[in-house]
Structure 1
Amino acid sequence: MCGRFAMDDRVNAEISDFVETTGRRPEEWRADWEAAYNIAPTEDIPVLIDSAKDRELRFSHAHWSLVPGWSDTLKLKFPTFNARAEDITTKATWRKPVQSHRAIVLARGYYEWQGPKGHKTPYFIRYPDGQLMGFAGLYSWWPDRTKAEDDPDRWVLTATILTSDAVQTLADIHDRNPVILPEDMWLHWLDPSIVGDQALVDDAVRAGVAEASTLQFDQVAPFNSREQGSQLLEPVAS
């Protein structure tokens, strides 16, 4: 699973560079991303999507938990911050987003905990060179019906992160890991003209296995749910 992750503000320049290399231009960004080192479900996360309407790449903030447009409330009774990749197209919540509403959730790395309850040891999992990480995700636009139809804040972008069985090198820490896509697969995953199906998801999982096998994991100091700061990423001296 992926229940906590970190993203610093370097992503703003990195995504600008990425979009420039594609020859595309980004749609006007809602806001620059401010560094956050302890991101939890239902908080804002940085995402990249490909707008089906005008085919422009959009880097934006999203509510971390996918909420279908038919829901009356932004808070669902069941968790939707992660989506299991296995048989994902058979699940009503994910079926339509898989088809054309796919996202890249951007991260510097993510946390997992190991050990008995009350004495769990946190680990931070990242690329060895600290490069930008892109999780395969899905998104949905949720309408806040308490706001007027012409209110620009009426539509809330929401997103989830796909997970798969953990690769062998990470299995001792957790039995699931996020599906991490290499950068050269991002545009293909995002492309709304490609009708997503289980085969597309399975291809992403296979690529994610190769990526996850290259990750390093470092024990970090315990921290509480509200702590922030780059010190959370620092490995504990052995």
Structure 2
Amino acid sequence: MCGRFVVAKTVGELLTIFEADEIVGEHPGPRFNVAPTQPISILVDRAFEKDEAGIPVGELSRELHVARWGLVPRWAKSPTEHAPLINGRIETILEKPSFKDSVVRQRCVIPASGYYEWQVGADGSKQPFYIHAGNDGMFALAGLYEWWRDDSKAADDPSRWLLSATTLTKDSAPELAHIHDRNPVLLTPETFESWLDPLHSGNAQLLAEVSRGSDLVAAEALFHKVAADVGKVSNDYPELTRAI
């Protein structure tokens, strides 16, 4: 699973790299140890109108939004009712009530410079690795998003709505399997566009295409061991990504 990741770019740089049209909300700056329930930047393609079937109508806008990492299903009684859904297994998301509706048209991309994973040794010891896209590269993680409504707040209260998101994972690519048996779903330039397009209904065919493409990206990923300091959520500085 992916439980910590890095975004070593400003929101302005993300806007340029991912060719977004607009920044919505107050985004966090560069982060080197993003943890569950913290705010993250997500990329969505959105139309301002929908038809009766909920299908977007008109020109799409590519936007960077701020979301809580840990998807909150719309039917949840509260955001803290269950453990945060930070990962969804791509093999089963079409079957899971918490994810299956979001797969259809609420897909997002989560920008990441890299992520941390812990390799468990034969003696039970855990060695953290930083798996990344190079000093100037960026991963595009496949994600899902959801809006949760707080009915205890007034209809005109902006804080009534919580935007949350989850990353997707898959069986690890062969090149990364020695570190962990799962890795985030990494998008190629081609699957990036299909994944974001809300006119493309999420289905098994799309998920299979995205899963295959992920292994191609993962095969090119760089990785190295890092210090155990990354295990402490309050630590958040560039040196966490340094090789040891």
Query: Structure 2 length normalisation: TM-score?
Result: 0.88
Partner SS for 2:165: strand
Deviation of the 1:9 alpha carbon: 2.9
- Kindly provide the CA deviation profile for residues 70-120 of structure 1, in whole angstroms up to 9, marking residues without a partner as x: 111012424411000003211111111000000001111000111358731
Structure 2: stretches of 5+ with no match in the other structure: 50-59
- 2:70 equivalent among 42, 49, 65: 65
Q: Which residue of 2 aligns with 1:8?
A: 8
8 Å CA contact 1:11, 1:132 repeated in 2: no
Equivalent residue runs for 1:1-238 within 5 Å: 1-19=1-19, 25-26=21-22, 28-53=23-48, 55-116=60-121, 119-223=125-229, 224-236=232-244
One-letter amino acid of the counterpart of residue 238, structure 2: S
Distance in 1 between the 2:131 and 2:15 partners? 21
- Superposed CA RMSD in Å reads 1.8
Partner SS for 2:115: strand
Deviation of the 1:138 alpha carbon: 0.4
Distance in 1 between the 2:29 and 2:10 partners? 9
Distance in 1 between the 2:28 and 2:140 partners? 15
Deviation of the 1:229 alpha carbon: 0.3
Cα–Cα, structure 1 residues 128 and 34, in superposed 2: closer, same or farther, change >3 Å?
Answer: closer
Query: Structure 1 length normalisation: TM-score?
Result: 0.90
Pick which of 9-18 and 55-64 moved more.
9-18
Structure 1: stretches of 5+ with no match in the other structure: none
Pick which of 176-185 and 11-20 moved more.
11-20
Deviation of the 1:156 alpha carbon: 1.1
Distance in 2 between the 1:118 and 1:53 partners? 51
